[in-house]
A and B are shown apart, each in its own frame.
Chain A
């Protein structure tokens, strides 16, 4: 039993350094030090996941022609959307990934690739 306690204590100490250890047992104690949105140890979304979800959000937008949607598509030039639509899409992406994108950054996102880049590089993307 002492060894189990010792192992648990070691796990507690090690968790902030190594993101691959399971957090299920120690989540209550270390919530303040370890910032992780997922419970299965994977700290960050993969690029494919981000791309897929962004494409899904775009396709579910009523004004968008879903056949034209690719990861490099430009909202204004390729999809013919105006700035109001772009704001709507950025809001939908915020909801999908549970992010808060500041206005200055959101103004710069006007193509699918920029959106994917921003979300992928955002540490809090969920």
Chain B
């Protein structure tokens, strides 16, 4: 018997979105930082109009696991941070 997980409310989704963006800001590497930001924005925008509740739950849990991945990777990458800043980060 499948237990129905209630689909996340709007505020939870926005909270996940914000947490992902905040976590992506902590990356030391410019490329990874920008990629994570782009990817979250694209993914959330793509899944914006899901109507099937099980699909919504699946996407939300996927997002949460990605958040955990990102948080771990921030720590790991900070151990081996690039010594030279990317050219895009040089302020003109």
Contacts and interface: CB of A to CB of B under 8 A. Distances in A.
Contacts, number: 25
B15 A103 contact: yes
B83 interface: no
B14 A107 contact: yes
A95 B22 CA distance: 10
A91 B21 contact: yes
Looking at chain B's contact residues, the main secondary structure is: helix
Looking at chain A's contact residues, the main secondary structure is: helix
B53 to A, nearest CB: 19
Bin chain A's interface residue count. 10 to 19
Given A87-B18, A87-B21, A91-B21, A107 B11 contact: yes
B25 A95 contact: yes
A91 to B, nearest CB: 5
Given A95-B25, A103-B18, A106-B18, A88 B11 contact: no
